[in-house]
A and B are shown apart, each in its own frame.
Chain A
Amino acid sequence: MSVSRYALSVWWRNFAMYRRTWKLNLLPNFFEPLLYLLSIGVGVGAYVTEMGGTSYVAFLAPGLVAVAAMNGASFEVTYNAFVRMNFEKTYAAMLTTPIQPDDVLAGEVLWAVTRASIYGGAFLVVLAAMGLAPLPAALWALPLLPLAGLLFAALGIAFSLRVPNIELLNFYFTLFLTPLFLFSDVFFPLQERLSGAWLWLAEALPLLHPVRLVRHAFRGEWSPILLWDLAYVLAVSAALLALAIRVSRRRLAA
């Protein structure tokens, strides 16, 4: 891997574009977790006396922070990266300059991490304003946002570098991200509904780990299992990025 400071040039290109269009981009992503919070958290939550030892809306809020980070990173490395690569020829133009394929990949991942942090951070601000982010404990969620972003940037880029047409990205969202969203401890404590081998199998779900990390941060609690969550996020990200490097060199420098 020969990542260099040129990766920052790639990041800056996306940032320069985002700076111009952020209002259009931020609002839909901003509203999505908010709508879930109001409908499921406040609405359905009114019929639930408690979940995981807290009010339902307090249970749901940290999970949605992790989901916001997941979505921020995922859109960037799937649809946006696909358009840049195949339609706008952005990478082809970058590769006429000293930028190398590894820089492109690193810059894109770095940018996806940035977007994840912006989305997760913006939602955190909303939660704080609604009194649903206990301060200062919830601030521990801030360093977790880039981690969640890294995981989903790695997952998404490893997938979208391989697909030949943009329609296939729909599969990634409907068959992968949506099930993750529904079954990763966000809406109910998965661990209480599963037993035996299923309990172990559930640990393979990527979103589960950022959700558990953020929820513990909100509660200001530490648990040894968080070490496993951190290890999972870092190891899976590293493995997928190693794979993505190989694929990107082949795709970008064919």
Chain B
Amino acid sequence: MTASAPVVVCDGVTKRYGDRLAVDHLDLAVPPGVCFGLLGPNGAGKTTALRMIYGVTRPSAGRVTVFGLDVARDTRQVRARLGVTLQENALVEALDAVENLRIFARYHRLPRAEAERRIEELLDFLELRSHAGLPVRALSGGFQRRLAIALSLVNRPELLILDEPTTGLDPAVRLALWERVRELRAGGTTVLLTTHYMDEAERLCDRLAILAAGRVVAEGTPAALIRERVGAQALELAVAPGDEARVLDGLDGVRRLRSGRRLVLYAADAAALLETLRARHAAGDPAAVVVRPANLEDVFLALTGTGLEHQP
């Protein structure tokens, strides 16, 4: 494996549960040393894809390679070199943080002295030391989440997989966790994460893949995805669906997105577009007008839809 070879390669990976296709010919390559985001609506196949990458689930078809090793064949070797933080914390709640870390060190069969050294490091790295001796069940959601991430770092993984790492956490804890992820990446760890927070993906990830119905529908850097898929700026208007034709009259090329009564138009210069619309009294309620930079959420909604009817 050369230094620039991808850490994770999914090659035509498919997972079928009965009649349901959870992942459909997924092709993915995660380069080393980056933070790679896997986005997609609920049920898009993100967690199933991760489960195949760390080898707990076998693909129905296709092949997953991690560190150049076939995950299905060399499962133990691959897992010894990666760490996974699951969506739900799996902590022993009656035990304290140090005891939980020791249990995970045992899972990896680390020598005891080495385990104790790493536990000390992780208590500092994830700021667990102040409550390290209290039963986990007595501690806050933020502490429990930090501990769950610490558990997945106990084997000093080359690849860290985070399944919705910051769901349900307060802003301060999220910021702190992002900083830790950046530090890990700076130290050479490759990070693969799923998230529903577009701000998280935009700020943290070097590259993204957006999944819908088990397939990659877009891939690239956050900036490139925004530029290519929607444009630089967004103009939000309050326009009833019946008035939409009048608003868009003569604006054929403009990308748009509707969510209820709100219509979002994308353009290189949203202010100029607004002037055009105002000139023909087609901008709707003036108080509801918003001009803002386009963001990843716009890309996400453009690609995966705003309706709920397709979500299982």
Binding site for B on A (CB under 8 A): 5-6, 9, 12-13, 16-17, 20-21, 88-90, 92-100, 252-254
Q: How far is the CA of A17 from the CA of B90 in the complex (A)?
A: 14
Residue of B nearest to A17 (CB): B92
The answer to the question of B76 belonging to the interface, with a C-beta cut-off of 8 Å to chain A, is yes
- Asked if A17 and B94 sit within 8 Å, CB to CB, the answer is yes
Bound-state CA distance A79–B294 (Å) is 52
- Residues B106 and A12 in contact, CB atoms below 8 Å apart: yes
* Smallest CB separation, B11 vs chain A (Å): 20
Given the known A-B contacts A93-B151, A95-B56, A254-B57, are A16 and B79 also in contact in the complex, defined by CB atoms under 8 Å?
no
**Interface window among B38-46, B96-104, B284-292, B302-310:** B96-104
Is residue B67 within 8 Å, beta carbon to beta carbon, of the partner chain?
Answer: no
The CB with the most chain A CB atoms within 10 A, among B54, B77, B103, is that of B103
Contact B56 A253, beta carbon cutoff 8 Å = yes
Report the minimal beta-carbon distance from B90 to chain A, rounded to whole angstroms. 3
CB distance from A105 to the nearest CB of B (A): 15
B136 → A minimal CB distance (Å) = 11
The 22 listed contacts between A and B (C-beta, < 8 Å) are A5-B109, A12-B106, A13-B92, A13-B106, A20-B99, A21-B94, A89-B88, A89-B90, A90-B90, A90-B92, A92-B56, A92-B86, A93-B104, A93-B151, A96-B161, A97-B80, A97-B155, A98-B76, A98-B107, A99-B107, A100-B76, A254-B17
Please pick, from A6, A94, A252, the residue contacting B109 in the complex, using a CB distance under 8 A.
A6
Which residues of the other chain, A, contact B89 by a CB distance below 8 angstroms?
Answer: 89
**Assembly CA distance A240 to B109 (angstroms):** 29
User: Which residues of chain A are within 8 angstroms of B99 by Cβ–Cβ distance?
Assistant: 16, 20
B223 in contact (CB, < 8 A): no
Bound CA span A253–B93, Å = 25
Question: Judging by beta carbons under 8 Å apart, are A13 and B103 in contact?
Answer: yes
Instruction: Please give me the 9 A-B residue pairs with the lowest Cβ-Cβ distance, nearest first.
Output: A93-B90, A96-B84, A97-B107, A89-B90, A98-B76, A9-B106, A95-B56, A98-B79, A98-B80
Report B151 CB to chain A, min CB distance, Å: 7
Contact pick for B79, options A12, A17, A97, A254, CB 8 Å = A97
Question: Which of chain B's residues have a CB closer than 8 A to the CB of A9?
Answer: 106-107, 109
Measured in the bound complex, the distance between the Cα atoms of B104 and A97 in whole Å is: 8
Q: A17-B94, A98-B107 are in contact. List 19 more A-B contacts (CB 8 A).
A: A6-B107, A9-B106, A12-B103, A12-B106, A13-B103, A13-B106, A16-B102, A20-B95, A89-B86, A92-B86, A92-B88, A93-B90, A94-B107, A95-B56, A97-B79, A97-B80, A100-B75, A253-B56, A253-B57
Interface residues of B in 80-135 (CB under 8 A from A): 80, 83-84, 86, 88-90, 92-95, 99, 102-104, 106-109
* CB-based contact B103/A98 at 8 Å: no
Min CB–CB distance A61 → chain B (angstroms): 34
With a CB–CB cut-off of 8 A, which chain A residues contact B54? 96
A96 close to B83 (CB less than 8 A): yes
- Chain A residues within an 8 Å CB radius of B56: 92, 95-96, 252-253
- Measured between beta carbons, the chain A residues less than 8 angstroms from B58 are 253
Q: Which residues of B contact A90 (CB under 8 A)?
A: 90, 92
With A6-B109, A94-B107, A97-B108 already in contact, the answer to whether A20 and B86 are too (CB < 8 A) is no
* C-alpha gap A9/B103 in the complex (Å): 8
Residues B103 and A16 in contact, CB atoms below 8 Å apart: yes
Q: Which residues of A contact B84 (CB under 8 A)?
A: 96
A54-B104 Cα distance, complex, nearest whole Å: 52
Q: Which residues of chain A have C-beta atoms less than 8 A from B83's C-beta?
A: 96
Min CB distance A110 to B, Å, is 14
- From residue B167, how far is it (CB to closest CB) to chain A in Å? 15
**Distance of A93 Cα from B152 Cα, bound (Å):** 9
- In the complex, which residues of chain B have a beta carbon less than 8 angstroms from the beta carbon of A100? 75-76
Which among A90, A98, A254 has the highest number of chain B CB atoms within 10 Å? A98
**Interface centre among B92, B99, B106, B107, by most A CB within 10 Å?**
B107
Q: Which residues on the B side are within 8 Å of A254 (C-beta)?
A: 17, 57
Q: With A6-B109, A96-B83 as given contacts, are A16 and B95 in contact (CB-CB < 8 Å)?
A: yes
Q: Give, as a whole number of angstroms, the nearest-CB distance from A124 to chain B.
A: 28
Residue in A closest to B99 when the chains form the complex, CB atoms: A16
Q: State in angstroms the CA–CA spacing of A93 and B83 once bound together.
A: 10
Q: How far is the CB of B236 from chain A (nearest CB, A)?
A: 41
> Given that A5-B109, A9-B106, A99-B107 are known contacts, is A17 also in contact with B86, CB under 8 Å in the complex?
no
Which residue of the partner chain A has the closest CB to B75? A100
